[in-house]
Amino acid sequence: MSRSLSDHLRVVRRIARWEVGRSAGTIDRRTAAFALVALLLAGGVASTGALAGGVALDRDIYRVGVSPESPYYDAIASSPALDARPPTVDRADVDLYVGDGYIVADDSQKSRAALAELNDAVRRYNTGAMLAEENRTAAFPVVVSLEYVQRGASIPAGATTGASAESSSGTAGESESGRTGSAGSDDGDAAGPTPDSSRSAGDGSDDGDAADRDDDSLSVPTLGGINPFGSESTGSPADISPPFPFASLVLAFAFLVPMNFVVQAYGGTMLNERINRRGELLLVAPVSPGDIVAGKTLPYLTALVGLTAVVAVAVGGGVVSVAAVLPIGLVFLGATFVGAMFARSFKELTFLTVAISVFLTSYTFVPAIFTQVTPIALISPLTLVVRDLSGAGVSLGEFLFSTGPFFLCAVVLFALGSGVYREEDMFTQRSVPLKFLDALDAHVSRPRDVALVSLLSIPFVFVAELLAIAVLFVLPVELTVPVLLLLVALVEEAAKSLHVFAAFEKGRFARTTRTALLLGALSGLGFFVGEKFTAVAQVVGLPELTLGQAALGPSGVGIGVFSAAGLLLAPLALHVVTAGISAVGAARGRRWYALSFLVAVAVHTAYNLTVVSVLG
C-alpha cells in the first residue's frame, strides 16, 4: 500500500520534532542557557549594528583632525571608517589633518589608506548630494568632447578614454617614495606632523566649487579633475586593481561560518543512529528511510536557513543572498550526511566533516574573490552574495548557473547516502572507499541503472571541472590546458566506471565481456545525455574562455567544433568506448579495472587533445 505525500510529510514532521526534542535533551540546561544568552548578545550586537547603518568592519579605524566648519566635515562624519577629531588634537594622534584648504597626511601606509578612504567618502558624499538634487541634468551633466581628426589617421591616445586620462592626470605629483604629492599646491606651508610628512592640498586650481558656491548644496569641494589624494598604492584592499570587493567578501564569508557548526551537530546525530545499531528500530517502524533522513535533516536545514536569514539581515543582504546560500547549505548537509553514513567513528566523521568544510569553504569563497573579474567567479553561489551585498544585480541565468550544480549535487549526495541507509549497510564497519562503493552499488540493480547513475554523476563532474578551471586559469594557457584535459578525462572516466566496478564487485552482474560491454555502453550513453546539460554553462559565457572550452568543449558541449553529426556522435562514441574499456576491466577484478581505467583515461585525453589542438 503506497502512502500519500501528506502521510510522508506527517511522518517527516514527527521525526523532525522528535529530533529537535532529542537533540535538545543532549544539552544540559546550563549550557543551553549560556548559549541562549550568548546568542541573544550576538543578535543584539548584530541588530544594533544593523540599525546603526550596517556592520562596518573598519569602523573609526582612521582618525582625522577636522573642524566642524570644514566643508569636509560632513563627508568625514558620514564615513564609518573615519573618526572626526577636533582640529585642536595633537597631529601626531591623527592619520589625516584637514586644514583650511589643505590636507596633511603622514608618510605611512595607514595615512595613505586614510587618504584613500577620505577620497571615497567625499565621492560618496558628493554622489549622495547630487542624487538629492531635483535637477538631475545639472547634477550629472553629460560632457561630450569632440575632436576632429583626419580620415584614416589614428585616433589620438586618450580620445576615447578621457575620463581615465583626466583622472590619471589628476594624480600627478606622486613621488617615487610613495608620498602623496600636492597637485595644486606649491606653497608647501602645510606642515605635516613630521618633517618628512607629505602634504596634499585641495586642488583649488580649476574649480574650487565649494569656495565659490556658498549657496550650493554641494558644499564639499569636488574631487574631480585633479585628484589631490592620489588613488594608487595606498595599501587599501579597495585600491587593488581590478577591484577587490573586500568588505562584501568578508560579509559573504559570515554566511559560511554558522554552517560549520550546524553540520557538526548534524553529522553527529546521523552517525549516532549507526552507533550501537540505534537506528535499527526506526528502520523497522512503518516509515521509509527517506522519511527518516528527511525528518532528521529538516531541523538542521531549518536552522541553516534561519541563521542565513539572520546573517543576511545583519549584513544588509537580501533575498538573493539567502537564496544563494541555501544550496551551499544543502551541499554542506548532503556531504556531511554522506560522511556520517561512511564514517566508522566520530573521529573519522570529524576528519570527514572538516575536510568537507575546508573544501566547500574554499570552493565557494575563493572564486567569489574574482566577482568583478571573470565569469568563473559564478561557479560559486557566494559570488551572488557578494554581488547582492555590493548592490550589483543578478540575472536568472546567472543564478541558475551558480546554484544549479549545488542543488543537483545536494540531491545526488542525499540519494547516495540514502542508498546505504538500510540495515545491511548502516551498521557495518567498512572503510570509506568500500562504503562509497556500497552506496554506488545500492543504486545499481538493473543494467539501465548504470546509465542513470552516470547521468546523475554529471553535477559532480561539472563542479570538479569548474573547480579545475578556477584553480588553473591563472596559469599560462599553454601549460594548463593539457593538464586540464587530463584532469577532465580522469574525472569523467571515474564517474562513468566506478559504479560499474562496484556492481561487478557485489556480484550484481555476470562477469562476462558481453555484459561489461553492454554496461559500458549504457554508462557512456547516460553520461553523454547528462553532459549535454552542461550546456547551461553557456548562459554566462564560460565556454568562451579558453579553459572553459577545453574543459567543457572537447567531449561535451563542443559548440562550433564539429559539424552537427560529429557534434552529436563523436562525444557519444568516445564515452561509450572508454566506458566499455573500463567496464571490461572491472568485470575481471580490481587490478584489471585499474589498468583499464588508465587506458580509458589515456584514450579520453588523446581525444580531448586532438579536439583542442587540431580541430579547435
Partner 1 sequence: MIRVDGLRKTYGDFPAVVGSDFEVGDGEIFGVVGPNGAGKTTTLKMLAGLVEPTEGTATIGEYDAGDAEMRRHLGFLPEESPLYEDMTARSYLRFFADLYDVPREEATRRTEDTLDRLELEHRDRRLGDMSKGMKRKVAIARSLVNDPELLIYDEPASGLDPLTTNYVLEFTRDLAERGKTVVFSAHNLYHVESVCDRVVIMNRGEIIARGTVPEIRAEHGETSYHVFTTVPVEETDVVGADVTDAVDVAADTAVDATPDTDASAGPETYRSVVADMDAVESVRSAAEKAGGEVVDIRTREPSLEDIFLDLAGRPPETRDDGKGRPVAAQADGGVETLDGDGGDRSGHARDDGGAR
Q: Tell me which residues touch partner 1 (CB under 8 A).
A: 1, 3, 11, 14-15, 18, 21-22, 25-26, 274-278, 280-288, 343-348, 422-425, 427-430, 506-507
What are residue 103's DSSP bridge partners? Answer: 98, 200
Q: Measured at the alpha carbon of residue 432, what is the angle toward residues 431 and 433, in degrees to the nearest 5?
A: 95
State the minimum distance, in angstroms, from the CB of residue 26 to partner 1: 5
DSSP letter assigned to residue 614: I
State the minimum distance, in angstroms, from the CB of residue 269 to partner 1: 10
DSSP letter assigned to residue 84: E
State the minimum distance, in angstroms, from the CB of residue 499 to partner 1: 18
- Give the SS3 label for residue 98: strand
Rounded Cα gap, residues 239 and 116, in angstroms: 8
DSSP letter assigned to residue 503: H
Hey, what amino acid is at 36? Answer: L
Q: Please, are residues 270 and 296 in contact by the beta-carbon 8 Å criterion?
A: yes
Neighbours of 425 (CB within 10 A): 18
State the minimum distance, in angstroms, from the CB of residue 452 to partner 1: 20
Smaller CB distance to partner 1: residue 428 or 610? 428
Residue 64 burial by Cβ neighbours in a 10 Å radius (0-12, 13-18, 19+): buried
Task: Report how far apart, in Å, the C-alpha atoms of 54 and of each of 60, 288, 313 are.
Answer: 14, 46, 9
State the minimum distance, in angstroms, from the CB of residue 13 to partner 1: 10
Neighbours of 184 (CB within 10 A): 20
Q: Please, are residues 553 and 543 in contact by the beta-carbon 8 Å criterion?
A: yes
State the minimum distance, in angstroms, from the CB of residue 353 to partner 1: 14
Rounded Cα gap, residues 47 and 53, in angstroms: 10
What are residue 210's DSSP bridge partners? Answer: none
Closest CA to 468 of 379, 398, 594: 379
Smaller CB distance to partner 1: residue 241 or 276? 276
State the minimum distance, in angstroms, from the CB of residue 426 to partner 1: 8
Smaller CB distance to partner 1: residue 79 or 353? 353
State the minimum distance, in angstroms, from the CB of residue 489 to partner 1: 32
State the minimum distance, in angstroms, from the CB of residue 287 to partner 1: 6
Smaller CB distance to partner 1: residue 18 or 407? 18
Smaller CB distance to partner 1: residue 25 or 391? 25
Peptide bond preceding 242 in cis form (omega within 30 of 0) = yes
Neighbours of 287 (CB within 10 A): 19
Hey, what amino acid is at 536? Answer: V
Q: Please, are residues 573 and 523 in contact by the beta-carbon 8 Å criterion?
A: no
Smaller CB distance to partner 1: residue 12 or 540? 12
